[in-house]
Structure 1
Amino acid sequence: MKQTILFFTLFFLISCGKKEYYNTPRRIVISGQISDYDPNNREIKIFANQLGFKPINITAELDSLGNFQTVFKSFIPTDISIRYKELFYVSVDPGDSIFVKLNAHTNNSKEFFSSIIITGDNAITNKNIVDFQKEYFTSEIYINWESKQKAIKELDTNQYLKYLEKTQLQLDGIYNEFVKLSDPDERAANWAQYYIEQEYYNALFAYPFFHAMYNGQPTDMYRVPEGYFDTITSSLPIKNSKNIYGFAFSHFVKNYSSYIAEKWQSEKQNQKYRTNGRYFSIPVNISDSIDVYSIIKYTPDTLLRQIILTKKFSDDFNEYSEIECFEKYQDIVNNYISLQFLKKPLHKQYTQLKERLDNPQYIAEVIEFAGSSTEQLIDTILHNNHEKIVYIDCWATWCGPCKAEMPNSKELMKKMDGKDVAFVYLCLDSQEKVWKENLGQLEIGGQHYLLNQQQSSAFRKNFGIQGIPFYILLNKNGQVAEKGSQLRPNVAKYKIEELLNE
């Protein structure tokens, strides 16, 4: 089985002369210049990885000379991804300022990576890291997706594990060649090694889902042998120095969380919640308890445990606007999450969310609906939007894909401004307090209804809604022109224009 090499110790993390990484967030400045850029594409995307939290997503605008600059804060060393035409990584410490130059008009990836010049803090390290990416991201083993998909589809579990071991030897060869040619400093060498090692786990954990999908099987039904994921525990204990590998370590945290889920799903006492295949139907309060105590039970490493617990609570805040679990398990939060780079941002997120829940601010038109039948609801919507085309968006506060489409819906609403088109949003199976907080965060106009559980069930049944987001388009006569999950805003635009022209 794969044995992860544990690298240098905490000494390296604090040996650069910078203090209080874990207690105080510091500014990191990323600036640069892109030559031969596309004048129709002035956006450069930057993602800063944060252990335990969602990445910081930044969009910087290029000026007329191709210059850009952005600033963010971090408690700890990490890596960031920069994307313009292609994506690459650089490593940063709190307090760093780096300058990136690259040529956007290149013929291939080799030329793209060769054009990258990084100056400022950690310049030598980042030159080495870019050298590694040039070798790895242009190698046959990385770019040959057809070969990878063929292995996933055709190999059984044991065969695939052998395939991964063989692949890892090839990756080790790329790493050794990189070390020989570039003579990287210790930090860059370890960044490259850890990145390659995490590719093993990424492939290992992705296999069950994609093997089923490529073979036309239900993705929730395919089972791997017991202990298939256990190899990930060979990476423990985690040393603090791995914090600098933000991207790879974030993937490790995600994969380890999947390992924990596999463990509790196999426990005898939890089989009563299994509905079909790998699906479970568990009351929220019990699900929270299983999540929290399983993290503690199956994560012996204290650093990793703190990070995964933080991520669980942070995901509750960001994805579901839910604070009850955090409040219920305050003793566990206080006893198990002690590192300041986790504790401080987590409590700040909680305080901000609680304020929004207690005092929601929104611009939306909230409409009270007291009826019980779907017919009454549709009649109300049509009465309020007489002789208009009505675009109905069925969503929920806990539905990530639903909320991800809201910016597109806002954009569509702007394009249809002044036309006979109404935008109606039906929130299903959600708490009123969380719904209103979401409206404030989404900052979306239109007409908004909150359906209770009974109303939601009736509406789902009448329109055959199996999953959300789900959309319904009514013509000016109040008839259903089209419905379904495929009718997302970017598609609905053309359908609405057709109805307007009738």
Structure 2
Amino acid sequence: MKPFNLFFLGLVFLVSCSKENQTQDNHIFSEGPVVVRGQILNAESKTVQLENLELTGRVKNVVKLDSLGNFEISINILSPHDNFLIHNGQMLTIFTEPNDTIIISADGRNFKKTISFSGSNAIFNKSLKLFFEEFLEQLETNEFFIKKRDLSPSEFKVFAYDFFELMETKIDSIIKITQPQENAIEWMRNYVKYRLAEDLIEYGNHHKENLTPDYYDFENDYLLTGEFELQCSQYYEDFINKYYLGYKLSQVDGFKEMATNYREQTYDGLKSSFEFIDKNISIPIVKNLSITRFCNMYVEKDYLIVDSIFNTFTTYVHDITCQNFILKRLDNKKNKIALVDNLEELSNTDFIGEIFQKIRNENHGKVLYIDVWGTWCGGCLSAFPTSNKLYKELDRNKIEFIYLCVNSTKENWQEIVNEYELKGKNYLLTQDQSAMLSEKFNFHGVPRYIIIDKNGKIIDYNAKHPYSSALKVELQELAEI
């Protein structure tokens, strides 16, 4: 897959309702607080993470367990949606609605298998747990991923439809066991529906040269039609992302230029993406979610640009929920800066101290460009060739590149480091280290770039992307000061 496509597949474009889709607003948009609390016995990690798959953007929340394994996460959400609950690398999908209090208990030695629910939406989440256990078993039994790799397009399409029809029958069995409420039933059915779409699209991305003209004939089957579809946020947004932005828009004239401009991290680059999407997407939901997500990604990159462009953003996205989401993300950035100032403080921080002690000791007097990435992040991987090129052009006696891989397995990390021949110093962080790094630098997604000057002072917590033409000059100037 070409790098610029990977960049966009790495972004997650989440869904919002347009003014032309107001029939669901009373149900979908009902802002309110959520509390997730509980106890993890025999914890094998010292943190718990709740990643909100909010309709207008993802936000990660990290808390420490106390000495007894207790924790509590309090958040505010804009709508009912999926979340990832993560402990020691094990990830479980749970569902939350505004005003929920969800209580869990689990054994950390087998977090996903032993978790139980009480409080709000307990039956809903019990149903999802059973559903995913059955789903994973059927994926393995039917050799789904092997066939996804080896079958021809027409063969895989038939196989995929048959497989997800089988999963529909499994849902019927789960309903008999748990007797969940209507929205839980519809959530599982929509998961099957949109996961099928994602697998078909992903197959198409990897087998482009063999596709028949009618391969993507399923578009109209997946446009928003029902009351509960937006609640299955993970795979509805994946369908929008991979079909519209990964497939359809990538064929439009000007797409590659727009992608390049966007990655420059400038006001004009962000505004040009608004204009391109507005011109080339006519479906209001898709247009809203795309522009909102582009804007949200820039909050992480440079919130000052988003602050300055917000009024322009509202001329393209009229939906109040989307606007409020961006405003809240901006407020969070303005009111909560990074919690560390220099390498010395990082060297004395829980979990990550040892790594930063080593970084400090091995790179005395050098400017450090830190790249925080994950093996699953398309945007991270697509930047590596540019990063390698930049590294070769800089004075290695004065400037060092540090790669911190988060939330990834050792096998995947080593494979990517070797495949992309990453120059500089490479480190794999544990789940606890990844969580602490995110907390200290106040970021919720990757890639993330940080610059530390030769005196060990952190001078940019959200540095320019390797694609930026200004980055090379900035690093060189810092090295000569």
Same fold at TM > 0.5: yes
Please name the residue that 2:156 is paired with: 160
Residues 11-410 of structure 1 correspond to what in structure 2 (within 5 A)? Answer: 14=26, 21-22=29-30, 25-35=31-41, 37-38=42-43, 40-54=44-58, 56-84=59-87, 86-105=90-109, 113=113, 115-137=114-136, 139=137, 141-143=138-140, 147-210=143-206, 224-225=211-212, 228-229=215-216, 231-237=218-224, 241-256=228-243, 259-267=244-252, 269-270=253-254, 291-297=273-279, 299-318=281-300, 320-321=301-302, 330-331=311-312, 333-350=313-330, 363=341
Determine the C-alpha separation between the residues in 2 that align with 1:99 and 1:171. Answer: 28
Determine the C-alpha separation between the residues in 2 that align with 1:150 and 1:91. Answer: 30
Taking structure 1 as the reference length, the TM-score comes to 0.59
Residue 173 of structure 1 aligns with an amino acid whose one-letter code is T
SS at match of 2:99: coil
Taking structure 2 as the reference length, the TM-score comes to 0.61
Determine the C-alpha separation between the residues in 2 that align with 1:74 and 1:93. Answer: 8
Residue 132 of structure 2 aligns with an amino acid whose one-letter code is Q
Q: Could you tell me how far 1:200 is from its partner in structure 2?
A: 0.9
Residue 263 of structure 1 aligns with an amino acid whose one-letter code is K
Determine the C-alpha separation between the residues in 1 that align with 2:151 and 2:362. Answer: 55
Determine the C-alpha separation between the residues in 1 that align with 2:330 and 2:228. Answer: 28
Residue 98 of structure 1 aligns with an amino acid whose one-letter code is I
Superposed CA deviations along residues 290-325 of structure 1, whole A, max 9, x for unmatched, are 64345335544433432221001111232x327658
Determine the C-alpha separation between the residues in 2 that align with 1:75 and 1:157. Answer: 39
The answer to whether the 8 Å contact 1:33/1:67 transfers is yes
Determine the C-alpha separation between the residues in 1 that align with 2:210 and 2:229. Answer: 32
SS at match of 1:63: coil
Change (3 A) 1:62 1:281: closer
Please name the residue that 1:404 is paired with: none
Change (3 A) 1:121 1:292: same
Q: Could you tell me how far 1:28 is from its partner in structure 2?
A: 1.0
Change (3 A) 1:308 1:229: farther
SS at match of 1:166: helix
Change (3 A) 1:156 1:290: farther
Q: In the comparison of the two structures, how many residue pairs are matched?
A: 365
Residue 186 of structure 2 aligns with an amino acid whose one-letter code is N
Determine the C-alpha separation between the residues in 1 that align with 2:53 and 2:228. Answer: 15
Residues 476-495 of structure 1 correspond to what in structure 2 (within 5 A)? Answer: 485=422, 487-490=424-427
Change (3 A) 1:297 1:159: farther
Q: Could you tell me how far 1:71 is from its partner in structure 2?
A: 0.8
The answer to whether the 8 Å contact 2:402/2:426 transfers is no
Q: Could you tell me how far 1:21 is from its partner in structure 2?
A: 4.5
Determine the C-alpha separation between the residues in 2 that align with 1:58 and 1:458. Answer: 33
Determine the C-alpha separation between the residues in 1 that align with 2:217 and 2:57. Answer: 25
Q: Could you tell me how far 1:225 is from its partner in structure 2?
A: 4.8
Q: Could you tell me how far 1:343 is from its partner in structure 2?
A: 0.5
The answer to whether the 8 Å contact 2:24/2:227 transfers is no
Determine the C-alpha separation between the residues in 1 that align with 2:311 and 2:247. Answer: 26
SS at match of 2:218: helix
The answer to whether the 8 Å contact 1:32/1:99 transfers is yes
Say which one has the larger Rg: 1
Please name the residue that 1:395 is paired with: none
The answer to whether the 8 Å contact 1:28/1:71 transfers is yes
Q: Could you tell me how far 1:29 is from its partner in structure 2?
A: 0.7
Residue 414 of structure 1 aligns with an amino acid whose one-letter code is Q
Residue 229 of structure 2 aligns with an amino acid whose one-letter code is K
Residue 343 of structure 1 aligns with an amino acid whose one-letter code is Q
Structure of higher RCO (CA pairs closer than 8 Å, 6+ residues apart): 2
Superposed CA deviations along residues 315-350 of structure 1, whole A, max 9, x for unmatched, are 1232x327658856844x324423332111213445
Cα RMSD over matched residues?
A: 4.5
Determine the C-alpha separation between the residues in 2 that align with 1:96 and 1:354. Answer: 28
The answer to whether the 8 Å contact 2:48/2:63 transfers is yes
Change (3 A) 1:488 1:198: farther
Identical aligned pairs, as a percentage?
15
The answer to whether the 8 Å contact 2:50/2:60 transfers is yes
The answer to whether the 8 Å contact 1:412/1:489 transfers is no
Structure 2 spans left out of the alignment, 5+ residues = 1-20, 344-349, 373-387, 404-419, 430-481
Determine the C-alpha separation between the residues in 1 that align with 2:66 and 2:261. Answer: 52
Determine the C-alpha separation between the residues in 2 that align with 1:248 and 1:237. Answer: 12
Residue 77 of structure 2 aligns with an amino acid whose one-letter code is S
Superposed CA deviations along residues 374-394 of structure 1, whole A, max 9, x for unmatched, are xxxxxxxxxxxxxxxxxxxxx
Determine the C-alpha separation between the residues in 2 that align with 1:194 and 1:205. Answer: 16
The answer to whether the 8 Å contact 2:368/2:402 transfers is no
Change (3 A) 1:68 1:11: farther
Residues 406-485 of structure 1 correspond to what in structure 2 (within 5 A)? Answer: 412-415=355-358, 419=361, 421-422=363-364, 424-425=366-367, 460-461=392-393, 485=422
Q: Could you tell me how far 1:74 is from its partner in structure 2?
A: 0.9
Residue 26 of structure 1 aligns with an amino acid whose one-letter code is G
SS at match of 1:72: strand
The answer to whether the 8 Å contact 2:303/2:330 transfers is no
Q: Could you tell me how far 1:194 is from its partner in structure 2?
A: 1.1
Q: Could you tell me how far 1:243 is from its partner in structure 2?
A: 3.5
